[in-house]
A and B are shown apart, each in its own frame.
Chain A
Amino acid sequence: MLHKLTIPISEEAVTALHVGDQVHLSGVVVTARDAAHKLMIEKFIRTPQVAELPDLYAQLSQLLAGGAIYHCGPVVSQDDHGRWRFVAAGPTTSIREEPYEADVIEHFGLRAVIGKGGMGPRTLQACQDHRAVYLHAIGGAASLIANSVKEVVDVYQKDELGVPEAFWVIRTEDFPAVVTMDSHGNSLHAGVKERSTAKLATLLALNSG
């Protein structure tokens, strides 16, 4: 079933989503990956030093309440007027943010985390406790996804963290993804791994023949 989601996302819209549902997401999304998550945790959440980056904190607080983080390090280009454009923008592997994401969801009131490969039990629990979902974008489908990014609204920490790791604020239209972790405690990834591991045990029990 295809759901149209618009940011800010309501609690009702999130709880209506279940594992396997397809989603088209529209609205202003913020990219954040490894260095950005480390920064959010160290500067804003665990031992707040918000005064160091007050603008960024204020922006994130506003954008992420009911909003979405996208695990992505894009290829970008800049035109003669200094405007940025996303050229290629598929998801990066999300599990690296597992130590951080639950706290980010809770602190900022996130409703959606977009990435690839799924996340672990802490994030799944946070999705349940705080009504959020994990949206799986198609890894590598970078040109296609870049076409759903209609505008680069802003960028933070580009010089400090580099292009792939910066916070890019982007306006998306019908960004395609699949719900693989929902707010009801279900994870597609946990089920697939359980079944494949059982099959592996069968294959390894056989003689080589």
Chain B
Amino acid sequence: MKQPDLTDQFLELIRLTATDLRSDIEDALNIARDQEEEGSAAQGALDTILENIRMARQDSTPICQDTGTPIFYIYYPTGWSTLKLRDQIREATATATAQAYLRPNAVDSFTGRNTGDNLGDDFPSLHFHEWEEPHLKVDLMLKGGGCENVGAQYKLPNVALHASRDLEGVRRAVLDAVNEAQGLGCAPGVIGVAVGGDRGASYIRSKEQFFRPLDDQHQVPELAKLEERLTQEANQLGIGPMGFGGKTTVLGVKVDTLHRLPASYFVTASYMCWADRRRTMTYRDGEVTFE
């Protein structure tokens, strides 16, 4: 089959993700704004955040200057060339950088040199999955460094937290992670939690939770209940927007599980800042749509 050149569409996906925040997050930030005390630093922070979101959308400029690691999930029909998709995405990434939708963020860890075009070893990060659908779907997340730095992984049991290998242990680990993060992840953020896996798989699964809409609940009722409880309890910590103190510390907590070795029980909490930039592009019957 003839595979289309989607470089321009990937560029638009990147531009949209960097500059136009999805409405579920913006709506939640608006609600949080109204809940904070009038005239407080927390409310001031949220006013600034909301004004910035509108300004970035209107001017088509990055919401946050840290445009992060571009993380792509590519779901492609049988027969597509992942090499071509990779080359098109990398070209679009370099173009988006030249057009100032992305900051050059790929630094060689050995030489300390910034490549200047966001292309590097495993940068951008690409995850290819062949699927049985006839269409192509590409999810993009821009994961900033400030919130990446406050992600944490726990190995249960944990004596200091009195955390055993059960959902109560998971709860304890996640609340500890939120408290340790304070405002450093650019609160109010979303917490993605993975239980199980090896260390690497657990981190990846925890970040995949950020693709779920804010109102999505886990299909397992016990996990959905834990998500709800963790959201409420994290907000009782009072860390607030930017760590200024306040009522909203997280916009949501999303939990998922994966199989683990008998010897290991990892709880991984990844943090996504309020600038929760994620978008989806679909290519179906020659038409491209974005959401």
Contacts and interface: CB of A to CB of B under 8 A. Distances in A.
A17 interface: no
A69 to B, nearest CB: 16
Given A139-B146, A142-B64, A163 B244 contact: no
Contact of B182 (A22, A196, A203, A204): A196
A22 B41 CA distance: 8
B237 interface: yes
A200 B173 CA distance: 11
A138 B66 contact: no
A193 interface: yes
Contacts of B44: 22, 178
Nearest to B115: A162
B116 A20 contact: no
Contact of B107 (A138, A162, A189, A203): A162
Interface stretch (A70-78, A97-105, A125-133): A70-78
Most chain A Cβ neighbours within 10 Å, of B41, B59, B105, B107? B41
Interface string B52-64: 1001100101111
Interface stretch (A8-16, A43-51, A54-62, A87-95): A87-95
A199 B145 CA distance: 28
A73 to B, nearest CB: 6
Interface stretch (B131-139, B164-172, B191-199, B255-263): B164-172
Nearest to B21: A140
A143 B238 CA distance: 28
A75 B182 contact: no
Contacts of B49: 138, 140-141
B63 A192 contact: no
Interface residues of B, number: 57
Contact of B242 (A139, A165, A195, A203): A139
Interface residues on A, range: 35 or more
A40 to B, nearest CB: 16
Contacts of A199: 236-238
Nearest to A164: B103
A196 B52 contact: no
Given A75-B65, A162-B114, A192-B240, A144 B103 contact: no
Interface string A175-187: 0101010000000
B114 A164 contact: yes
Contact of A140 (B112, B149, B243, B273): B273
A140 B61 CA distance: 12
A76 to B, nearest CB: 7
A140 B274 contact: yes
A138 B55 contact: no
B64 A73 contact: no
B239 interface: yes
A143 B45 contact: no
A189 B182 contact: yes
B100 A77 contact: yes
Interface of A: 20, 22, 35, 72-77, 87-90, 92-93, 95, 116-118, 136, 138-147, 161-165, 176, 178, 180, 188-189, 191-193, 195-197, 199-200, 203-204, 208
The 7 residue pairs across chains A and B that have the minimum distance between CB atoms: A162-B114, A208-B168, A88-B65, A88-B62, A141-B52, A139-B186, A144-B52
Given A75-B102, A87-B61, A88-B61, 8 more contacts: A117-B243, A136-B242, A139-B183, A143-B61, A163-B116, A164-B103, A178-B41, A204-B172
15 contacts: A35-B112, A72-B65, A88-B100, A93-B149, A116-B186, A117-B243, A139-B146, A140-B52, A140-B63, A141-B49, A162-B116, A164-B103, A180-B244, A200-B176, A204-B172
